[in-house]
A = this chain, B = another copy of it.
């Protein structure tokens, strides 16, 4: 029996990815060895790595002149590597939540940071607009999707300087124009695979901006030159991610995922609007995340929060407790989340309302 898994991350993966990963752990393509115990230099693993890179490029329509890297350490390590490599005089950052703030904190370690706008004044319940980005900054960094607050920046901004974006929680969920970016990165554990591997899509000519001496493992040039194989990569995680990419490919690619993601989010937001018990904490409808649907109880029914959580658990719903910074609930409906689980949650919200 499967649970309805709404965890914010690590989070739901497709049955396809799970079954294929388990099979590869037992016996990779019938070679008589586990994917966990083959050399990263073996022809079998090289094929896995190359296929994973190729599928990322295909799914995101990555133009020529970009490299796809799979690195260890998580997006938090990228918060450090980005400014270590690229912050020479000043960097511009948009502050839209907890992850942006962490990225800003690390950037300040390496140089001047101009926070061009922040929605901290209203507990990150909206995406700032109308800000201006200094033309002399080395790059402009932003987080596309804010898992905790349930907001999302759904356009590729045009700001005239290199764009660097943390897309940990919405990569592969909607069409993006990679050609507008100098670097896109993220931890895998939402839409790209299990925790333990990060993806980095980096424009080769952006690497020319690196002028500081940097420790080997923190220098993007090491990993571009080494083709993600400078040191032993997280092989098992890359294999599991490949299964996720294959599944996306089979389902029709990113546009197909986007269509169903919009449908899933609409279902849930419509119910939040309709149901007298719940409301969205996000100020502008256009800023609502398609990946993390946050909802809180209306003031009148506030005391029913724990009861709704228990009722959901009884209905095999896992992981909808909201982050303490927002409270209430959060349904993370990443690419791996089937429509029927969203329908089940909506049904559960309706039933709970009818019992009140």
Contacts and interface: CB of A to CB of B under 8 A. Distances in A.
A2 interface: yes
A107 to B, nearest CB: 10
Given A32-B3, A33-B3, A216-B105, A40 B76 contact: no
30 contacts: A1-B32, A2-B33, A5-B33, A5-B37, A5-B38, A10-B39, A10-B40, A11-B39, A13-B37, A18-B25, A18-B37, A36-B193, A36-B240, A37-B336, A42-B319, A72-B77, A72-B234, A74-B217, A74-B232, A75-B231, A76-B216, A106-B215, A106-B216, A109-B215, A196-B233, A196-B236, A196-B237, A236-B236, A236-B237, A237-B237
A31 interface: yes
B2 A32 contact: yes
A211 interface: no
Nearest to A3: B32
B106 A232 contact: no
Interface in A217-240: 217-218, 230-237, 240
Contacts of A9: 39, 232
B34 A195 contact: no
A43 to B, nearest CB: 11
B26 A233 contact: no
A31 B235 CA distance: 26
Interface string A72-92: 111111011000100000000
Interface string A173-210: 00000000000000101000111110000000000000
Contact of A37 (B10, B74, B213, B217): B10
A196 B32 contact: no
Interface in A9-24: 9-13, 18-19, 21-23
Interface in A298-321: 316, 318-319
Contacts of A10: 36-40, 232, 235
A230 B75 CA distance: 12
A-B pairs, 6 with minimum CB distance: A196-B234, A36-B194, A76-B231, A72-B72, A22-B25, A72-B73
A3 B102 CA distance: 46
B195 A233 contact: yes
Interface string A120-157: 00000000000000000000000000000000000000
Contact of A196 (B38, B216, B235): B235
Nearest to A237: B196
A52 interface: no
A197 B73 CA distance: 9
Contacts of A230: 76
A236 B194 contact: yes
Contacts of A25: 18, 21-22, 25
Given A195-B236, A196-B237, A8 B106 contact: no
A269 interface: no
A225 to B, nearest CB: 14
Nearest to A232: B195
A7 interface: yes
A77 B73 contact: yes
Contact of A217 (B33, B73, B240): B73
Contacts of A217: 73-74, 76-77, 79-80, 106
Nearest to A2: B32
